[in-house]
Chain A
Amino acid sequence: MNSNQTILLELKQISPAVANLPKTNPFSVPLNYFENNISTIISLIKGKDLTQQNDTVNFNVSIEKNETFFELPKDYFETFGIQLMNKIHTIQSVDDELSEMAPGLISLRTKNPFTIPNGYFDTNVIETPSRKTNLVKVFQMKNLIRYAAAACIVGLIGITYMITKEGDSTPIVASTSNNQQSAELSLDDMVIYLEQMEEIGHDNDLEFSNGDESNLLVDLTKETIEEMLNGIPYKGIKEFIEDEGIMLEKTNN
């Protein structure tokens, strides 16, 4: 099986619809494009090569002759001196120019109507005002207080935030406040509190014992007790009383 058949089979497996599409090329190219294209490419490459060669030659020449690629007029350096002198000669002095334009002004040019105090230029020493340099303290108490106040505010905000944000911290603070409250209580208050608590505890005990007794007590009549006692031999009763008596003595001790 050649590659074409393999590709077609693969395509049919993936999508029979695409495999059945016509495989013709819808695009068109200009007539004789490929025939002419070779010469176009070769001429392009040659042109590129030629440019590269020219660049190389120019570069070498510039190194060897130490020339620049900027253009200069012919014999520029030879004629430069003469051109410069001609330029200087053409520039007129101020007096020459003024004599041409207004000859009457030349005599007035040197006369100055303004006067200055005698010896002004000799005595006039320009006093430069001594500059007051403002010493800037790097460490200032005023600033320190400001920063401290700012830090306190930030700290307070932070603590408040922590208290409100973290739910776990609340009970700790609460318990701490309870402790503080208990610390503020007087001794009498504490005694009263403990007595009250004890009474409450006793009441609870009584309630508990009453409850138990009510469950445990059985109504016994005299007859029943007599029957029960008659069932017990005298000797046994005597021993029991004696034992109870010993027991009572032990408890009294």
Chain B
Amino acid sequence: MTQHSSEDLLLIEGFKQADTKESSFTLIVKKYQERVYWQIRRMVITHDDANDVMQNVFIKAWNGLENFRADAQLFTWLYRIAVNESLTYLEQQKKRSSISIDGSGLNLEDKLQSEKDFDPNKAVWKLQQAIQQLPEKQRIVFNLRYFDEMGYEEMSQVLETSVGALKASYHHAVKKIEDFILHH
């Protein structure tokens, strides 16, 4: 069974009480929103999209926290919702862009280049460009490992994938990024 932090347990218990529900949830949002936001932002790229997805994530968390079981950490659970919501959002955007005439909103690379401070000569942006070239699964694994410094065990709970497969995905992702950076 997963070890929960005592603070998280208190927050979950507080959420289940009617009089402390809102205050407990506010504290949960306050505690995890930034980490959740950046995970989403790296996936959907633009702030507006990330904001939409994050609101959906916490609305889902509000609806589901009542039945939250202690077989996963609160943060892992929130991350899983964030990943699923981000993927759903991107899928919806793909469908929308395939319908629309101009095909807008499809390419994450274009979105990246439209960022305010985008500079292709800077290493940080080049890294982001390299990440956008990766397949979806490898992109998520790389972001969780590289930026969020998440362990493989925890990652396997978030993505419901074996540790071995995650290690392989991460290895391939890093090699592809290296190749992109060296040849661009």
Contacts and interface: CB of A to CB of B under 8 A. Distances in A.
Contacts of B54: 37, 41
Interface string A11-23: 1001101100111
A21 B38 contact: no
A40 interface: yes
A38 B122 CA distance: 33
B26 A44 contact: no
B110 interface: no
A178 B27 CA distance: 102
A41 B29 CA distance: 9
Contact of B22 (A25, A40, A42): A42
A26 B55 contact: no
Contacts of A7: 145-146, 149
A170 B5 CA distance: 86
Interface string B118-152: 10001111011000000000000000011101010
Binding site of B, secondary structure by majority: helix, strand, loop or mixed? Answer: helix
Contacts of A48: 59
Nearest to B54: A37
Contact of B58 (A22, A28, A41): A41
A27 B30 CA distance: 20
B171 interface: yes
B66 interface: no
A144 B175 CA distance: 74
A240 B51 CA distance: 131
Binding site of A, secondary structure by majority: helix, strand, loop or mixed? Answer: helix
Contact of A29 (B47, B62, B147): B47
A24 interface: yes
Contacts, number: 87
B156 interface: no
A31 to B, nearest CB: 12
B79 interface: no
Interface stretch (B89-97, B100-108, B176-184): B176-184
Nearest to B142: A18
Interface residues of B, number: 41
Contacts of A24: 124
A219 to B, nearest CB: 96
Contacts of A34: 33-34, 37
Given A41-B29, A44-B59, A25 B38 contact: yes
Given A15-B177, A34-B33, 12 more contacts: A11-B146, A15-B175, A21-B181, A26-B115, A26-B128, A27-B42, A27-B115, A33-B47, A38-B29, A38-B33, A42-B22, A45-B59
24 contacts: A7-B146, A14-B174, A17-B181, A18-B174, A18-B178, A23-B146, A25-B147, A26-B115, A26-B128, A27-B41, A27-B42, A27-B47, A29-B37, A29-B47, A34-B33, A37-B29, A37-B37, A38-B30, A41-B54, A41-B59, A42-B22, A42-B29, A44-B55, A45-B59
